[in-house]
Structure 1
Amino acid sequence: METFDYPVVGAGSAGCAIASRLAEDPAVTVALIEAGPTDHHMSIWMPIGMASTVRNAGPRNYGYYTVPQPGFNGRQGYQPRGKGLGGSSSINGMVYIRGHRNDYDDWARLGCTGWGYEDVLPYFRRSEHHEDYSGRDDNRWHGGTGPLRVSNLRSPSPFSRRFIDAAIQAGYRPNSDFNGADQEGAGFYHVTQHRGERWNSARAYLHQGNAGDKTLSGGRSNLSVLVETQVLRINFDGMRATGLTVVRGGVEQKLAARREVIVSAGAFNSPQLLLASGVGPARELLDMGIHVVADLPGVGKNLQDHPDVIVNKQVHSLDLFGHSFGGFAKLSMELLRYRRKRTGMPSSNFAEAGAFIKSRQGLAAPDIQLHFITALLNHGSDRKKLGHGYSCHACVLRPKSIGEVRLRSPDMREAPVIDPRFLSHEEDMTVMVAGVRAIRRIFAQQALASAGGRELFTDEFGPGDGDQQAIEAFVRERTDSVYHPVGTCKMGVDDMAVVDPALRVRGVQGLRVVDASIMPTLVAGNTNAPAIMIAEKAADLIRAGG
């Protein structure tokens, strides 16, 4: 049996960060345990590699599906989750967004003391190394010395600039920094890249910038990184977590924890592991034949995600990605440029620009996020048949629909049952319709309309705001997740809370959850940066004995 002070389950956005921060103390030993492979692969380092990794289940993507969703006319939703070092930060769209300050102040109002916006801002800054503030630590909003590289896009498409101009023409304000003083408006996204390469959490916190790090741990002898190691369950002695049972190389073995077991397996696999280990709703566990260690009714509940719909416009321009002879010829030249200079189309994250807008007047904060995509993309569509064009996502930032994650079996090697209950709350549909209408208004402005082209799937809605029933039918037929699941091990002080504000699992000892699953409510934006922030703060809580 190998023994570590802190075994950490899951080497995703949060797991890499918490393991690295704890290992800064040379007096402790840390094991970071990951079911997938290393991140040493071109599909990860080259930004456009996400076109293959995010859409396909495989060695680096769990490729989960939801149960059939009544709100989607019975369709299943697709739920990609990163598998391997870096987790979902290795396959995501690299958009660096923290959310709105109100999100965190709401957490504090719910009883999560120490999690208000001013409490968490220092941890965002500590993690960040923004190229505009490199080497500095004097900016109110951004950090310039952290491990997570954040940059402006090196070679944005001219159509992304057109989108921003069209949004301004449609009446939305410009915004050069969604993570600054105000989130609302349209602009370019900051991305987790450095010199044109993806900067996932493994590169930030484990390899410390070295893309070919063979030790996987930056050479730190007190940090063991165990890839292709499947955790089966958390082991308990009475009510105390004492370690893990894992499978490595086909052999089952135990890893012991001197201090704490830390679960950072994400919004689906963290509750799955707790449930498989006997921590969760007692009735569900007994029905699965699992010994109940702690009856915690909230484990797996409170699943929240951003429902997302996409509007497309077909435009034949080689400045946009697409399937054509000319497109492939240009991309071949761009790949050569990328090899020499790390610039050009391969450095694109596709979602280059966007906006945070309000569905109606009087709201305190934006409730819709737009992602402008420099390619034709639609949930469930075959891009090969669509040619060249652009797309725009609209997602509901504060969905009212709440779902759950359950066990399919006690075996962690089987996918969990995922039921987000998308569009089960009528207010989510209202906001989705507003998002579709906002995109069509932006597409109709001169800055984009002058490039020509035609809308796909939405052109029958008619001019102006279009037919309400037709848009609702389109939303039900075309909506899916934008891949931001959170909340299934929620932090709080109520009876459904799974962890307390120090992220300790309630009812047991020596066990914490540190990842996006602890969010009591979904933040208004992409979830990679908040997951890393949670790990940064958790490291301080653990070191302080909290």
Structure 2
Amino acid sequence: MDHGTFDFIIIGAGSAGCLLANQLTKNPNHRVLLIEAGAKDDYLWIHIPVGYLYCIDNPRTDWQFKTEPSKGLNSRSLIYPRGKVLGGSSSINGMIYMRGQEQDYQDWVNQTTDNSWSWNHCLDRFKAFENYHGGSNQWHGSNGPWRVSRQRLHWKVLDVFRQAANEYGINNTDDFNRGDNSGIGYFDVNQENGFRLNASKAFLKMASKRPNLTLITGALVEKIHFDPVTKKTTGISFLGGDHHHTAQVHQEILLSAGSIGSVQILERSGIGQEKHLGSLGIETIVNSPGVGENLQDHLQLRMIYKVRGISTLNTKANSFIGKGLIGLQYLLNRSGPMSMAPSQLGAFTKSADYHTRSNIQYHVQPLSLERFGEDLHSFNAITASVCNLRPTSRGSIHITSNDVFAKPKIDPNYLSTSEDQTVAIESIQTTRKIIQQSALMAYHPEEYKPGVHLTSDDELIHAAGDIGTTIFHPVGTCKMGSSNDANAVLDSELRVRGVKGLRVVDASAMPTITSGNTAAPTMMIAYRVAELLRAN
């Protein structure tokens, strides 16, 4: 079945793809096809904030990827959630609105030699699509569709942790998004009236009303096709149901399938490492050694502390009455634990004085559990999860077969550098110092994980491997870079090198990971490409 010709084909209706579809269809002369492998976002638990518990590792909403066993994690394999639904990972993520640090974007400028990625330019883009709860000001916009809200709950135990952090030397902040996110405070979240706001609702709802948008769900893109002489994109082929489909393109294809999906589609289309593609029987269109390399992710070390004399969610959620009251609270005013983002209190600080800026981030939760998807502990406890914001470890993602249904090989290669191991040691030590402040000592904190008996560097590195897990921020696998970077898959305008009419527009384009949660920077990247296409 041939679906005809479009000016633009967007592959992937996630954070980037939905924003692109909204921006491009504002021009009625642009005929746009948006194609998504997942289903519509009509699953109830997508929209209730605590529903991420039921969306992650659920085939209805998640690709259900898994990593290779990692030496740095003591040979453990991890689930690696990525959204497979309209809205993409914005439908299953932690809803935290975080831009990163000003220096992150200067690093991008340095790596691309393109000043359009500087903080001031990026700040203008963030403000353009933002609807900030405090209104417009120097740092925020209020006329965009992406609602940034305050959380609708507080926990005494989190306020006590904040007091302890103050005593340690971390100052309070009410805004992590001014270019220097140092400090401690409650995260701003992408919610509206107590419901999750995903990219589908924010961007696609408007675009869907326009006659120049065609949306196809449940469609797996097999490959992108090119003219054999000019190497200009001609269209795509994809599976929908039990049928093969095609669509043609007049101007550009915008690949927004994410740091995993975009690699898979590029490699199946003949763009990647020639040796690897040849081993799978794929003809090489462009030998691009950087495709699938440069994988970066934030590894969180989940430290758990038992507490006494203060309430946590472990207590409330482990009784029938408590669960009933939680449900009633959400039903009546959209607040309480069911309105919770996975992490409520955040902090950014240095793990040691020699760092020039905040290099670790805390996600602090009034609960604890052994691992994701399991029941809360029966004892009262909090989790102080801490991650290295700028890891130096680099991993990879590659297809293992030309089969569109085959799972890729994902190897994040966590804790593989001495720098990352040192920051892991420092992070555990810093957390222990915060916990030992007087504000928390009144509640008799007891380290459940990793355990106070672990003190030497070797013991702490091994402990980090035991308690470390992904915080779901894979980036960098199709990085942009300057013309003299042989491993840069993209130029600074996100065009794929070696072909025409193809850009990769998602988190895989980041040359280095931002210092914080990655959803908002991914949208900003998409907004930049929309600017370029409007100018053209």
Aligned twin of 2:133: 131
Question: Aligned equivalents of 1:336 and 1:219: distance in 2?
Answer: 35
2:488 paired residue number: 497
Report how many residues are paired.
529
Q: C-alpha displacement at 1:318, in angstroms? A: 8.4
Partner of 1:167: 165
Aligned pairs for 1:20-99 (under 5 A) are 20-54=22-56, 56-99=57-100
Query: Is the 1:86–1:202 Cα contact (8 Å) retained in structure 2?
Result: yes
SS at match of 2:261: helix
Secondary structure in 2 matching 1:24: coil
Aligned equivalents of 1:40 and 1:158: distance in 2? 35
Q: Secondary structure at the residue paired with 1:461?
A: coil
Letter in 1 for 2:325: M
Residue 101 of structure 2 is aligned to residue 100 of structure 1: yes
| CA 1:325–1:82: 2 relative to 1, 3 Å | closer
Q: Distance in 2 between matches of 1:91 and 1:388?
A: 27
CA distance in 2, matches of 1:384, 1:342: 22
* Distance in structure 2 (CA, Å) of the matches to 1:108 and 1:311: 35
CA 1:319–1:24 in 2, change beyond 3 Å: closer, same or farther? farther
Q: CA deviation at 1:378?
A: 4.6
Work out the CA distance in 2 between the residues paired with 1:48 and 1:418.
Answer: 27
Aligned partner letter, 1:367: N
**Aligned mates of 2:166, 2:160 — CA distance in 1:** 10
Matches within 5 A, 1:399-414: 399-414=391-406
Specify every segment of 5 or more residues in structure 1 that has no aligned partner in the other structure, as ranges. 209-216
Give the corresponding residue for 2:304.
Answer: 312
Contact kept? 2:173, 2:185, Cα under 8 Å: yes
For residues 116-127 of structure 1, what are the structure 2 equivalents within 5 Å?
116-127=118-129
SS in 2 for 1:172: coil
In structure 2, which of residues 197, 200, 204 is the aligned counterpart of residue 199 of structure 1?
197
Instruction: Report if the CA contact (8 A) 2:102-2:179 is conserved.
Output: no
User: In structure 2, do the counterparts of structure 1 residues 343 and 384 end up closer, same or farther at CA, with 3 Å as the change threshold?
Assistant: closer
Tell me, which stretches of 5 or more residues in structure 2 are unaligned? none
Aligned-residue offset at 1:331: 2.8
- 1:232 positional shift: 1.0
Shift of 1:443: 2.1
Going from structure 1 to structure 2, the CA distance change for 1:92 and 1:319 (only over 3 Å counts) comes to farther
Task: Establish whether residue 514 from structure 1 lines up as the match of residue 505 from structure 2.
Answer: yes
1:157 to 128, 136, 155: 155
| Residue 337 of structure 2 is aligned to residue 336 of structure 1 | no
Is structure 2 residue 475 aligned with structure 1 residue 483? no
SS of 1:438 mapped into structure 2: helix
Q: Cα deviations across residues 298-347 of structure 1 (Å, max 9, x unaligned)?
A: 11111111122110123468843237775442232222221221122211
**Helix, strand or coil: the match of 1:541?**
helix
Q: How do residues 389-428 of structure 1 correspond to structure 2 at under 5 angstroms?
A: 389-428=381-420
Q: Deviations over 1:365-385 (max 9, x none)?
A: 111111101210454694345
Structure 2 counterparts to residues 270-419 of structure 1, below 5 A: 270-315=262-307, 319-322=311-314, 327-379=319-371, 382-419=374-411
TM-score using structure 1 length: 0.93
Q: Residues 129 and 381 (structure 1 numbering): CA distance in 2 closer, same or farther, change over 3 Å?
A: closer
Whole-angstrom distance in 1 between the partners of 2:310 and 2:326: 11
Please tell me whether the aligned partners of residues 63 and 79 of structure 1 are also in contact (alpha carbons under 8 angstroms): yes
- Residue 524 (structure 1) aligns with: 515
Q: Corresponding residue for 1:147?
A: 145
1:470 equivalenced with 2:462 (yes/no) = no
- For the 8 Å contact 2:314–2:377, the answer to whether it is kept is no
> Which residue matches 1:226?
216
Q: What is the CA–CA distance in structure 2 between the aligned matches of 1:329 and 1:227, rounded to whole Å? A: 41
Q: Which amino acid aligns with 1:236?
A: F
Task: Give the alignment's Cα RMSD to 1 decimal.
Answer: 1.8
How far did residue 180 of structure 1 move?
1.6
| Cα separation, 2, equivalents of 1:288 and 1:413 | 15
Structure 2 partner of 1:538: 529
Task: Quote the Cα distance in structure 2 between the aligned partners of 1:110 and 1:250.
Answer: 44
Identity among equivalent positions (%) equals 37
CA shift, 1:459, in A, is: 3.3
Q: Does 1:242 align with 2:234?
A: yes
> C-alpha displacement at 1:544, in angstroms?
1.6
Q: Which amino acid aligns with 2:35?
A: I
CA distance in structure 2 between the aligned counterparts of 1:25 and 1:544, rounded to whole angstroms: 12
Which of 89-98 and 150-159 deviates more? 150-159
Go from structure 1 to structure 2 and tell me whether the alpha carbon gap of 1:317 and 1:509 turns closer, same or farther (over 3 Å shift): farther
Corresponding residue SS for 2:475: coil
> What is the rounded CA distance, in whole Å, between the counterparts of 1:40 and 1:449 in structure 2?
46
Amino acid of the structure 1 residue aligned with 2:400 = R
Query: What is the identity, as a one-letter code, of the residue corresponding to 1:70?
Result: K
1:479-507, Cα deviation, whole Å (9 max, x unpaired): 12211110000001211111111111000
Q: 1:58 to 1:318 in 2, by over 3 A?
A: farther
Q: 1:317 to 1:237 in 2, by over 3 A?
A: farther
State whether residues 368 and 376 of structure 2, in contact with CA within 8 Å, keep that contact through their aligned partners in structure 1.
no
Which letter maps to 1:33? Answer: I
Give, in whole Å, the separation in 2 of the partners of 1:332 and 1:506. Answer: 56
Q: In 2, distance between residues paired with 1:65 and 1:352?
A: 26
